[in-house]
Structure 1
Amino acid sequence: MIKKILVILFILILVIVISIVSLIVFVDPNHFRGYISQTVKDKTGYELTIEGDLRWHIWPQVSILTDAVKLSDNGATKPLLTADNMRLDVELLPLFSKNLAIKNVFIKSALINITDESKGDNAKKYTQTLTPPSQPNTDISENKKNVSNWKFSLNKFEIADSTVALQYNNDLINFRNINLLLEQNNDKNLSIELKGNIDKNQQDLFYSVNANVDLTQFPEKAIIDLKKLDYSYNGIASSNKALKGSATGVFNYQQSPKQLNSQNLVFSVNDNNFTSKINTRFDNKPYVDLQLSSEKLDLTPFLQQNAKSNKDIPVQQTSPVVSSVAKDNNQLSILNAFDGKTTINIKEIKANKIIMNNVKLNVDNQDGIATFKDLNFDFANGHITATGTANGKQKTPQIKLNTKINNINLNSFFTQMDMAYDLDGIFNASGILETNSLTTNKLLESLKGNANIVITNAKLNNINIQNIIESAAAKYGNGNDKSGNQKKYTEFHKINTNAYLNQGNIELNLLNANSETLDIISGSGKVGMLNHDLDVNLNIKLLGGWNSKSDTIAKLQKVTIPLRIYGQFSNLRYQLDIAQILSDVFSDKLQQRLDKLRDKLENRNGKDKDKDKDKDKDKLKSKAVDILGGLLKK
């Protein structure tokens, strides 16, 4: 039994060896040179040049080896593809029936140039017609008859360790270490595996793609099933931590009308996961409909990387470059490239200490102007809503928003913004704000607009306005005019003001406030959001809250007291000239008494003109001295 098996195996081996020897002897691979080149030209319009002789390679599989190969476009100065060698793995038995069944085309260390120098007649035709170039069917049939009556089939195409140089405008982008495996699953179904990296200006993007492509209805329709896309990005701004993630989804392509739609698109960026839906129409101007949702978006790692990278980059002393071409500084100019709409729903956005919840955005872009139909989110225990526009048609960006702010807790706000503060309360405001910059460090500086501000249950920490006035007044009184209010803050039921934002400052006017013990009947000044300082002038009316009821207190309650508060948020100071106030009060009182005294003297002189004038004058002078002495004592 064993001998029979060995005999059978020996016969099989002998048949294979004879077949291979017959192949090498009777079939010259150079017969395929013109056929392969012509087939490539018929299918693509490009010229394939094979240098040197084709030769058989038997082990570990039957293959045809070539020397250097070039793929060129007619009229181009550089070839589209160059490679040191190419290997065609063929099936053995079909060769005897004149069928060149290629299992795999393997190209190693190829250089693919997609630049202006590699573009020729076919590229121009493709640009003009937006369809791949092709030859008439009569030419194809004639060429096939003239070249060979062999049949051709291809099951797999593979590129390893290759490079693609892609020119985009004036930039050259290098796709390096490309490993591509393109395999035909059935008649019109392909599987794609692609790996490599892209580098540009010290920035690297590593990617790995696995997808299936259904070409059953191609070119009218195609379905791309993206099984998985993994990527990792490293650049100057993110050198400490890579930007990485993955994506899966299904894309449906349609030729007429030309559009691309997605289904079940899920992707991630680091620890942030998103679900999305994209519908794109490729009209004269593309139209994009994007829907995006996520449970959480954490921007903190990116902000920390950018802040550190900005500190680490050295300042280079270079000569300025003067250009005569006007530079477009509008970061929103991309809006002119497409029309569309965007709907975004994110439950939580975190950036350092800042936390925004239930973020909703609805934007419609038409002709370079994006309209914010709805923007609202929860922040600092309150809610913010806005509508407006973003203009990308001008030289500089212009964003204009009609904003409403409801019930923002100032304690939570300043804590999240990581700012020192001395003002607590519930903040409400409404107004129109606009900016002409999207740069983070210039955003506050460029912000402009008017707003009506109301702060309820306000508390000005570390300053007790009532106690300041009372303590100053006590120095000019009998020392007993002190109130029982020894708190280290000032409370107001409500603060109202109109504000104008300009160059990082909030300019206040028509400011008024009220409390149980004092009112601010008018005020003005500025609050610096960039320098974290303020300088306001207040006109105050005292209402009560004093322990004693001296004449000094009564006089102060009848006048308006000016008070200036200024300094950094964390170290506010005040300025109050109480001596001048008391001097004015007492001067007015003294003048009133002197006027009364003069009237009495004039009346007395009229009634007693017949009496002894010298005697009466002495009495009146004595009374006047008594009155003046009483005033001076007080």
Structure 2
Amino acid sequence: MRRFITTLAILLVVIVAGMMALVLLVNPNDFRAYMARQVEQRSGYTLALNGDLRWHVWPQLSILSGPMTLTAPGAQQPVVSAENMRLDVRLLPLLSHQLSVKQVMLKGAVVRLTPESDSQRPQNAPVAPGRSGSSEITQGWTFDIGELRVADSLLIWQQSNGEQINVRDVNLQLSQDSHRQAHVELSSRISRDQRELVMNLNADMDVNRYPQQLNALINQLDYQLTGADLPQEGVKGQAKMQFSWLGDRQAFSLKEIALNANDSQLSGNVSGTLTGRPQLDIDLRAPMLNMDSLLGLADGSSDGQQAQSQRAGAAPVIAQRAEHDNSDSPLNAIDGKVKLAVDTLRWRGMDFSQVALDASSREGVMQLARFSGKAGNGSFSLPGSIDVRAAQTAVALQPEISAIDVAALLKAFSLPASLSGDLSLKGNFTGTGLTVAAFKRTWQGSAMLNLENAQIAGLNFQQMIQHAVERSNSRVKGTDNAAAKNDLQQIKGGATLDNGLLTFNELKGSSPVLNYGGQGRVNLPQQLADITFGVTVTKGWQGDDELVKRLQQTPVPLRIYGPWSALNYSLQVDQVLRQQLQDEAKKRLKDWADRNRNGDSSVQKLIKDL
């Protein structure tokens, strides 16, 4: 045991002595020119190391440098700059005059992906020949980086439209083996427009044929997006997928996607090419897609307080974006196809099933060949097109709805749920904008509608008319029957929409106890209504036979008007009763005149006046 301990002590002394001798005998600044030339020869970039290089021996033999920069040819700003850099090197190759870098670590680095940091080739510059072999300076040296670490760093990315995205707190750990199988761990956060995205990535990559081909397996991607105009808890979830890149064809693919976002799930494949005009092919399936949860909307809410209560709050006025003009819309930059199959979809409090979307986009115009689904016992189909080539999004839809719950539909569009029943509709609408607010202000079109099992909340036409007649005339009264309490109606007619003004041209309704027709208009932005009906109560009368017969054949004018929150109605029963009295008086005078043909001529004149 004593010999073993002595042997270990001697070995430790030899290692420490060797490292001390290495520090004293080998000057790390001798590698400065070599590293700069190696970087320039292999990539064309210029590596600048400022300050002296020095050894760091514990716990890893390393070379420490002061400020460093890495600059592309002809660039105005460096691609990478850092206050310090650490190179972990292997000991044995160093003893044989070889520099083998085990790990490169940058702390507090700034990575710029901007036009100023991009390489610039001088005008009329000759094309450089293919890279030749190693120079005399590099003969006998090898260069190998097994690991790269970037800690507490910043990435500045400037998009094509000039806007910059700052990726902060970048922590990257990249390692690869001799077969060029790499492992990546990345965490960062992005703050923009009062929103923040935090993500953590764990992936394995095959870079053996890079840049011709790159394959990656994203084992786990955790993310959380919080901030203005998002749900209180944000949008968070995990993702897994397989990624591949073909450099020669500029093609990529995402396979076996498994994505969770709050309580929604997506799976499928995405592929595309980036040559010329980019092409994208999306084929996804969702067992559950809850748009209310993703958008932070309460059931049937819009942009009002009910929706705001479900969100983290709107951005301050000073941080509001400029007016959207479609200049940066993906549809203007990318062509492709989208297929989406959703088993269960929730939107503004409405639940849909078997939703299918089949769309294609070309030159800024998306064609909705199919957008259909089911809701309860009904179904919907919304084919059409979306055009983003102009400043304002132009939408054209040909909706076809069958037996959809109209109360839920009205609530979804932030309209009073004053109607219930099963709505069937077929129409043609055009407008600008895809929001509910835009539909209520800037859309036009017309539709034919049919409402089965309809009831108007708070309004029973039969009871209203019967009670009004009873108060005006004691000769008749209405009966309180079951049909009056459960007055299910069928309503048919046409409607036109013109920039927020919804006009009903010829509404016709019927039920077992009444018939009516009507017309009028509804102002959607101002939330005002003005509709006039002519209601004929065909059953439920008792009393004077002549008056009952008259009431069963005569429409009673009924006007409903005013703001949605406090609707008024005007029922003109007196006109019907007055006409009945006039007709009855005229008939009696005529009978008297027929019995007294030689009577006073003033009676004949009175009959004519009536």
TM-score band, normalised by the shorter chain?
0.7 to 0.9
1:412 Cα deviation (Å)? 4.9
Note the 1:514-525 alignment, pairs <5 A: 514-520=510-516, 522-525=517-520
Note the 1:178-577 alignment, pairs <5 A: 178-238=170-230, 240-301=232-293, 302-304=295-297, 307-308=308-309, 329-330=325-326, 333-351=329-347, 353-379=349-375, 381-413=377-409, 420-474=416-470, 477=473, 479-485=474-480, 491=487, 493-520=489-516, 522-529=517-524, 534-567=529-562, 572-577=567-572
Q: Distance in 2 between matches of 1:179 and 1:30?
A: 28
Note the 1:49-88 alignment, pairs <5 A: 49-88=48-87
- Any stretches of 5+ residues in structure 1 without a counterpart? 605-616
Q: CA RMSD of the aligned region, Å?
A: 3.6
Deviations 1:77-122 (Å, cap 9, x if unpaired)?
A: 3322222222211111122333211111122222223333333436
Secondary structure of the 2:202 match is strand
Pick the structure with greater CA Rg: 1
Moved more, 496-505 or 301-310: 301-310
1:446 Cα deviation (Å)? 2.5
Q: Do the aligned residues in 2 keep the contact of 1:364 with 1:370 (CA within 8 Å)?
A: yes
Give the 3 Å change call, closer, same or farther, for CA 291–199 of structure 1 in structure 2.
same
Q: Distance in 1 between matches of 2:415 and 2:76?
A: 62
Moved more, 577-586 or 258-267: 577-586
The residue type paired with residue 140 of structure 2 is N
Moved more, 149-158 or 17-26: 17-26
Secondary structure of the 1:146 match is coil
Q: Distance in 1 between matches of 2:328 and 2:400?
A: 24
Q: Distance in 2 between matches of 1:534 and 1:415?
A: 17
1:423 Cα deviation (Å)? 3.1
2:43 alignment counterpart: 44
1:343 Cα deviation (Å)? 1.2
Deviations 1:8-44 (Å, cap 9, x if unpaired)?
A: 3344234324533443354332221111110111121
Give the 3 Å change call, closer, same or farther, for CA 518–45 of structure 1 in structure 2.
same
The residue type paired with residue 480 of structure 1 is R
Q: Distance in 1 between matches of 2:449 and 2:184?
A: 60
Q: Distance in 2 between matches of 1:27 and 1:624?
A: 139
1:628 Cα deviation (Å)? 12
Secondary structure of the 1:442 match is helix
1:46 Cα deviation (Å)? 0.8
1:431 Cα deviation (Å)? 0.8
Q: Do the aligned residues in 2 keep the contact of 1:303 with 1:351 (CA within 8 Å)?
A: no
- TM-score by structure 1 length? 0.83
The residue type paired with residue 32 of structure 2 is R
Note the 1:17-36 alignment, pairs <5 A: 17-36=16-35
Match of 2:155 among 161, 164, 167: 164
1:435 Cα deviation (Å)? 2.6
Q: Does 1:145 align with 2:136?
A: yes
Note the 1:90-109 alignment, pairs <5 A: 90-109=89-108
Q: Do the aligned residues in 2 keep the contact of 1:98 with 1:151 (CA within 8 Å)?
A: no
Secondary structure of the 1:257 match is coil
Deviations 1:239-282 (Å, cap 9, x if unpaired)?
A: 84233222111111112322101111112223322213101112
Deviations 1:290-314 (Å, cap 9, x if unpaired)?
A: 1222222233344259614989659
1:413 Cα deviation (Å)? 4.5
Give the 3 Å change call, closer, same or farther, for CA 252–419 of structure 1 in structure 2.
same
2:303 alignment counterpart: none
Moved more, 538-547 or 149-158: 538-547
Q: Do the aligned residues in 1 keep the contact of 2:453 with 2:489 (CA within 8 Å)?
A: yes
Q: Do the aligned residues in 2 keep the contact of 1:460 with 1:489 (CA within 8 Å)?
A: no
- TM-score by structure 2 length? 0.86
Q: Distance in 2 between matches of 1:421 and 1:29?
A: 79
Give the 3 Å change call, closer, same or farther, for CA 154–524 of structure 1 in structure 2.
same
1:226 Cα deviation (Å)? 1.1
Q: Do the aligned residues in 2 keep the contact of 1:34 with 1:147 (CA within 8 Å)?
A: no
Give the 3 Å change call, closer, same or farther, for CA 539–32 of structure 1 in structure 2.
same
Q: Distance in 1 between matches of 2:348 and 2:489?
A: 33
Q: Does 1:136 align with 2:130?
A: yes
Secondary structure of the 1:336 match is helix
Deviations 1:342-391 (Å, cap 9, x if unpaired)?
A: 11122223346332333221111112111111111223542211211111
Secondary structure of the 2:22 match is helix
Give the 3 Å change call, closer, same or farther, for CA 292–35 of structure 1 in structure 2.
same
Deviations 1:39-75 (Å, cap 9, x if unpaired)?
A: 1111211111122332322222222222222212333
Give the 3 Å change call, closer, same or farther, for CA 422–448 of structure 1 in structure 2.
same
Q: Do the aligned residues in 2 keep the contact of 1:334 with 1:392 (CA within 8 Å)?
A: no
Q: Do the aligned residues in 2 keep the contact of 1:381 with 1:412 (CA within 8 Å)?
A: no
Q: Do the aligned residues in 2 keep the contact of 1:210 with 1:227 (CA within 8 Å)?
A: yes
The residue type paired with residue 510 of structure 2 is N
Q: Do the aligned residues in 1 keep the contact of 2:518 with 2:533 (CA within 8 Å)?
A: yes
Secondary structure of the 2:398 match is strand
Give the 3 Å change call, closer, same or farther, for CA 381–417 of structure 1 in structure 2.
farther
Moved more, 487-496 or 228-237: 487-496
Q: Distance in 1 between matches of 2:568 and 2:426?
A: 29
1:613 alignment counterpart: none
- Any stretches of 5+ residues in structure 2 without a counterpart? 299-306
1:500 Cα deviation (Å)? 0.9
Q: Do the aligned residues in 2 keep the contact of 1:45 with 1:122 (CA within 8 Å)?
A: no
Q: Do the aligned residues in 2 keep the contact of 1:380 with 1:413 (CA within 8 Å)?
A: no
Give the 3 Å change call, closer, same or farther, for CA 574–44 of structure 1 in structure 2.
same
- Identical columns (%): 26
Deviations 1:542-572 (Å, cap 9, x if unpaired)?
A: 4343223432223344544333233456765
Q: Distance in 2 between matches of 1:86 and 1:432?
A: 65
Looking at secondary structure, tell me which structure has more helix per residue: 1
1:508 Cα deviation (Å)? 0.8
